[in-house]
Amino acid sequence: MFDMDAMREAFFVVFALDTALYIMIGVIVGISVGAIPGLAHSLPIALVLPFSFVLPIHQTMGLLIGTYKGGTYGGSITAISFGTPGTSGAAATVADGYALTKLGKGKKALQMGLYASVTGDTLSDLALIFLVVPIGMMAPRFGPAELSALYFLALSLVVVFSTENPGKGIFAAGVGFFLAIIGRDILTGGLRFTFGVRYLEAGFPLVPLLIGFFAVPEIIKKIKEVIERPDDSGVIGEAAEKLLKLKEEGLTLKEFLASWRGLGLGTIIGTFLGALPGPGATLCSYTAYSVTSQFSKDINYGKGALEGVATAEAANNATCGATFIPLLTFGIPGSSIAALLMAALIMQGIPLGPRVVVDHTVVVYTLFLLLLLANPFNLLFGKILIPVYSKLTKIPAAILWPVITLVLVIGTYALNNRPFDIVICLIAGVIGYFFKWFKLPDGPLVLSFLVTPLFEANFRQALTISRGDFTYFFTSGISQVLWIVTLATIILFVRKRRKTDAEISGN
């Protein structure tokens, strides 16, 4: 039941100067830290968490939500400008975003990233408000068998959609699978493929892997360019003159609206998957990106299309609101950031679970309003920072890339204060270069790396429950639907590929 008095109380608490100030600080910190590769936005959230002890709940949550939203968007800035995702969730933005920057449309891509992020985020917040109960009821119906089917679907989508050569997609997924199983077995604790390296026992860390995979190949390429073709990479000293002359075209309303498919699919998939515990922003954005590739009419999709940026960013940010669905209804944090937000609420004396909406209605409404209010702040400060970043890309490579390289090395180290992470980052960089050189798609690798631990845990749990009976994976209605969707998608893809091949041969 909607409680008008509680809403009024929450409204006056949220729409106050002090709350706005804390949201603003959070958004600025979030965008700034999110834009630094290596520094996951869970880091500033963890840093501001102790404030929960001294600040009232609306200020604490304003600060945390602002940081969360700003950080989720901030990752796309470097993904678009330098091909280096600031956060893992922005990895899917690299393909189209960075391609647009190279085409001289970096400002358009950055604006699209911002507007899509805010749109996806706002719609997901509204979905949270209206669907918190119905979606929350659906989430626990996903048992191990259903989740296995869901993860299999996500993986199949990315493999079949991401490349024109299915062999390359399958190989990339295989590499992702392999990297993900390095370390301790999730159930027995046995060591798998650690080759006696103690640091690998905890597994291949995600953030150094992503930073290395995306950033190091680009650094190698740029350094090679600076050394071998100095005239193309910009001469030191011309930077200031070039920057003053810079005038890039911004995004038009028509271009923004033309990406409605990507925005819609990104928001829906981001909200749906974001509401389930486990998938996270990276998986959501890659899945949405792959699905949209089949519906997009833009022939440049994947090679520099605004719709690609819109899809990935809408899905990435749509997880912000959706994360609160399992958190508020069942007290299940879907990601590490959700766990931090949950910790802040618990420290404020809010026991999360099915009764929170009834027992703490004002707090829940306050959270809803804070989530909505953080979006205009994200839009405003994102807009302020876009010109800065679009100008940064015009600085000669000889000046800019060494600075990025050093920040990247320190950022990778700062994550866990572990020197071995730098080694992982460099190994991932060499793998990333091979992928780039051999034109292998990055989506299947990243997605299978993320999905494998979840898939394996659920798959083996399901087999344990069913005592080795594989029919268990097809017994429930949800899993049957998911398997049918997987099969239908693959058939659709094969038919579409044959049709396209026939058309090309005909021409």
Contact assessment for residue 136 and residue 340, using Cβ atoms and an 8 Å cutoff: no
Out of 16, 133, 358, 406, name the contact with other proteins by CB under 8 A.
406
Q: Does 117 bind other proteins (CB under 8 A)?
A: no
Q: Which residues in the 16-55 window bind other proteins by CB under 8 A?
A: 36, 39, 43, 47
Out of 407, 478, 485, 490, name the contact with other proteins by CB under 8 A.
407
Q: How far lies 358's CA from each of 329, 353, 363, 370, in Å?
A: 11, 10, 10, 19
Four-point Cα dihedral 323, 325, 328, 331, nearest 10: -70
Instruction: Between 226 and 327, name the residue whose CB sits nearer to other proteins.
Output: 226
Whose structure tokens read 């106050």? 16
Reported as half-sphere exposure (CB side, CA atoms, 13 A), residue 106 has a value of 24
Contact assessment for residue 141 and residue 275, using Cβ atoms and an 8 Å cutoff: no
Q: Does 423 bind other proteins (CB under 8 A)?
A: yes
Q: Which two tokens stand for residue 435?
A: 């992928």
Out of 143, 331, 354, 402, name the contact with other proteins by CB under 8 A.
402
Q: Which residues in the 71-90 window bind other proteins by CB under 8 A?
A: none
Q: Does 226 bind other proteins (CB under 8 A)?
A: yes
Within 10 angstroms of residue 354's Cβ, the number of other Cβ atoms is 14
- Three-state secondary-structure class, residue 191: strand
Q: Does 392 bind other proteins (CB under 8 A)?
A: no
Choices 267-275, 282-290, 322-330, 423-431; region in contact with other proteins by CB under 8 A: 423-431
Q: Does 413 bind other proteins (CB under 8 A)?
A: yes
Provide the terminal-to-terminal Cα distance of the chain, rounded to the nearest Å: 61
Instruction: Between 259 and 393, name the residue whose CB sits nearer to other proteins.
Output: 393
Choices 69-77, 101-109, 221-229, 288-296; region in contact with other proteins by CB under 8 A: 221-229
Q: How far apart are CA 121 and CA 128, in angstroms?
A: 10
Out of 137, 170, 491, 494, name the contact with other proteins by CB under 8 A.
170
CB of residue 59 vs other proteins: minimum separation in angstroms? 21
Instruction: Between 168 and 360, name the residue whose CB sits nearer to other proteins.
Output: 168
Q: How far apart are CA 109 and CA 256, in angstroms?
A: 10
Choices 9-17, 83-91, 134-142, 220-228; region in contact with other proteins by CB under 8 A: 220-228
Q: How far apart are CA 153 and CA 170, in angstroms?
A: 14
Q: Does 433 bind other proteins (CB under 8 A)?
A: yes
DSSP state of 321: H
Q: Does 497 bind other proteins (CB under 8 A)?
A: no
Contact assessment for residue 74 and residue 30, using Cβ atoms and an 8 Å cutoff: yes
Total residue count of the chain as it appears in this document: 507
Out of 12, 195, 437, 470, name the contact with other proteins by CB under 8 A.
437
Q: Does 485 bind other proteins (CB under 8 A)?
A: no
Choices 107-115, 349-357, 367-375, 399-407; region in contact with other proteins by CB under 8 A: 399-407
Out of 15, 134, 165, 499, name the contact with other proteins by CB under 8 A.
165
E strand or H helix that includes residue 303: none
CB of residue 253 vs other proteins: minimum separation in angstroms? 37
Four-point Cα dihedral 487, 488, 494, 497, nearest 10: -140
Four-point Cα dihedral 89, 94, 98, 100, nearest 10: -90
The residues, any chain, with a CB within 8 Å of residue 253's CB and separated by 6 or more, are none
Choices 181-189, 294-302, 376-384, 471-479; region in contact with other proteins by CB under 8 A: 181-189
Which residues of the chain form contacts with other proteins (CB under 8 A)? 36, 39, 43, 47, 165-175, 177-178, 181, 185, 187-188, 190, 192-193, 216, 219-220, 223-224, 226-227, 230, 235-237, 398-399, 402-403, 405-410, 413-414, 417, 419, 422-423, 425-426, 429-430, 433, 437-439, 452, 455-456, 460
